Structure 1
């Protein structure tokens, strides 16, 4: 199964000067967990509900703090013909829950962790849950986070 078959429309803004409140409101209205920041056809960042919650939890004023202050600038992307399994691997490798999908350099949609889990759950229901070495997987992911200095 390819990403194009399950991706959804991305919530977009063209402003890094919007506030965290405006980003949160946009996510709420669109019932999504992220906003992709685009200038022209170029993705310049992504802000997620977790970014907003983390910033506010650390004392940021949602009416004053800007999207640019919390957005991820080095955005990991995939193409529409990427296999869902590869997209899931990318998301796990980079510790992201929202993967913008780019076609010919332009934002085509977004794939969320929820989208991927829904597909895997449906497949596993039909074919049986595969054996997964969860302990080893957790150890590898924790080690990668420690090595990257990301203990958040």
Structure 2
């Protein structure tokens, strides 16, 4: 799964000299929370609704409405935009994008080509939607959590149980716990949970939890 398949393509952009009120109107019109700032076709900044909120007068201001509008009409994007921009290459995986956003605590970032041109925007909403789609949740899946020791061949043995029962695994994820042990989470179209638990237990794998999602 790649960023190119999940991003908003050909995003609306603004220039450093764009007035703040114009950018704000654009964001409200299209329902955007972020706009890439480009100059000469190259990314030079990133603007978020938080950046605009920081310079917008509070409701308690004594300024008249026309004075507020006049203030924002004079201010340019380059005065408030984020100049040190975290961006992701268009050929990056969705996991790389998610890790960047997690590390830098950001909700979105521009996607750039090999020459620095903005080709898209990827947001936390896109990441969440990818997670939901990968897990097949809208179609309705049964999720099993299996307790596993740190043991070579565990994934193979668990997969064989489902294979022998004629069941397909839609996804399988391993998660390391603080204890050093693992949980293996499998999802698929499973009905006879008790029989699955019995066959896994015969190989010393315990189903700790199961639930139908979607």
TM bucket normalised to smaller: 0.7 to 0.9
Name 1:150's counterpart in structure 2: none
Greater RCO between the two (CA within 8 Å, min separation 6)?
1
Unaligned runs of 5+ in 2: 62-67, 146-172, 178-214
CA distance in 2, matches of 1:86, 1:127: 28
SS class of match (2:36): strand
SS class of match (2:44): strand
Name 2:12's counterpart in structure 1: 11
CA distance in 1, matches of 2:81, 2:28: 17
Q: Which is richer in strand?
A: 2
CA distance in 1, matches of 2:22, 2:30: 12
Name 1:88's counterpart in structure 2: 98
CA distance in 2, matches of 1:99, 1:127: 34
Q: Which is richer in helix?
A: 1
CA-CA distance at 1:16 after TM superposition: 1.5
Name 2:108's counterpart in structure 1: 98
The total of aligned residue pairs comes to 132
Normalising to structure 1: TM-score of the pair?
0.74
RMSD of the TM alignment (CA)? 2.6
SS class of match (1:18): coil
| 1:65–1:80 distance in 2 versus 1, CA, 3 Å | same
- State which of 131, 134, 142 in structure 2 corresponds to 1:123: 134
CA distance in 2, matches of 1:108, 1:49: 20
